[in-house]
Amino acid sequence: MEQKKAYKYRVYPTNEQKQILARTFGCARFVSNWALRCKTDAFYQEQKRLYYKDLSEMLTALKKQGEYVWLNDVSSVPLQQALRHLDKAFVNFFEGRAAYPRFKHKRQKQAATYTSNAFTWRDGQLTLAKMKEPLSIVWSRPLPKDAVPSSVTVSKDSTDRYFVSILVEENIAQLPVTPKTVGADLGLKSYVILSTGETIGNPRFFHTDEKKLAKAQRRHAKKKKGSKNKEKARLKVAKIHARIADRRRDFQHKLSIRLIRENQTICVESLAVKNMVKNQSLSKAISDVGWSEFVSQLEYKATWYGRTLVKIDKWYPSSKRCFDCGHILDSLALEVRHWTCPKCGVHHDRDLNASKNIHAAGLTVREACGEAVRPGAVKTKPGTSQRSRKPRS
């Protein structure tokens, strides 16, 4: 089955290429912010909605004005793509998948997207528009044979590292069907507790480097604003943040692909992370664990490899329900990690009991939706929406 898949590589541009990319990043950021301001003002002041076609025409007129002629110094394709990305951001906002789009800043991640008419792909070398030489790419893994990139995105993170993401159409082979199914309970003390009894510990990447990060942030705060030492201190802080994020992402990718390879159906609980982080005592730990990203990886990898991900409704009492007899407790405090069922007398480990209940409920949802479900499907509790769920009244 043909799927769009992006391959990300580290890039080491020359000084000349860095200048071209810096101008492109700046222009794309300006166009995105300008378009966001135009759309917002048009809606609140004139009750008018602007779409991609309207903004594209306005951008053409803007580039002809004397004070904005510098927009013509870079390829027009990344600027048009910035408008398309903003249009997609508004679609996600109106459909409840994301917050209202925000303005981009220079210190954040910078990116520019080039479509096929703005780069040259020849003999495994990538040359972007306005550049004379191909980019120096570290091929950490090979692209699929005879792959033709449909678009490439060049980005620079806060630590001044450059990356290129190459989007290709790939025929991803489905994994062999296996009878194994598993339920996964996401936690803080342990990252994942499987219904098989296996417990995967929480690496706590942020907690490991928290003291080092705090020290670097204090040094950064004491530097003179605008000085070179201030910039050096900022870079040190950014590198610690990047190290934490890289290690967490690597851990999540390895764990998610392992679960996908070993099991035909993976059952997880839908967690309202945005509401959970409002707990001041646990907000830091919840943000560190990265549940949303992990479930997101399970979703798209299940689609790629022909697996089924079942999401259980967040209000399902997986922890309070006895797996053996079905009795549901009236309440169960968070600090209680073991409890005994008052009806059947079975002693439960809270997390293991929850994972078994999630597994059983997930299989029930799968049966209710039909045994021959589409490979890669993401199932939720019948009657609930996968995109957004509001608390029940």
CB atoms within 10 A of CB 184: 28
d(CA 144, CA 49): 42
CA distance 313 to 268: 9
| Phi and psi based region of residue 376 (left: phi greater than 0; alpha: psi -120 to 50; beta: remaining) | left
209 is catalytic: no
Catalytic, 246? Answer no
Helices 76-94 and 52-62: angle between axes, nearest 10 degrees:
150
Catalytic residue among 157, 185, 288, 299: 185
Angle formed at CA 185 by CA 387 and CA 242, multiple of 5 degrees: 75
**Which among 269, 299, 313, 371 is annotated as catalytic?**
269
Q: Give, for 72, the enclosing helix (H) or strand (E).
A: none
Query: Residue 379 has what pLDDT?
Result: 55
Residue 319: CA count within 13 A, CB half-sphere: 19
CA distance linking residue 205 with residue 136, whole number of Å: 31
Instruction: Give me the pLDDT at residue 370, please.
Output: 52
DSSP code of residue 175 = P
CB neighbour list of residue 277: distance below 8 Å, 6 or more residues apart: 283, 286, 287
Quick one: pLDDT at residue 54? 95
Per residue of the chain (393 residues), give pLDDT as tens: 678 899 999 999 999 999 999 999 999 999 999 999 999 999 999 999 999 999 999 999 999 999 999 999 999 999 999 999 999 999 999 998 889 999 999 888 999 999 999 999 998 899 999 999 999 999 999 998 888 899 999 999 999 999 999 999 988 889 999 999 999 999 888 999 999 999 999 999 999 999 999 999 999 999 999 999 999 999 999 999 999 999 999 999 999 999 999 999 999 988 878 778 888 888 888 888 999 999 999 999 999 999 999 998 888 888 889 998 888 888 888 888 888 888 888 898 889 999 999 999 998 888 776 543 333 445 554 444 343 333 333
Taking a C-beta distance cutoff of 8 angstroms, is the pair 116, 149 a contact? yes
219 closest CA partner among 236, 233, 239: 233
What are the backbone dihedrals phi and psi of residue 138, each rounded to the nearest 5 degrees, phi first? -90, 105
Beta bridge partners of 167: 6, 151
Q: How far apart are CA 326 and CA 360, in angstroms?
A: 11
Specify the pLDDT at position 391. Answer: 38
Rounded CA separation 22/18 (Å): 6
Q: What is the pTM of this model?
A: 0.85
| 269 noted as active-site residue | yes
> Looking at residue 335, what is its pLDDT?
84
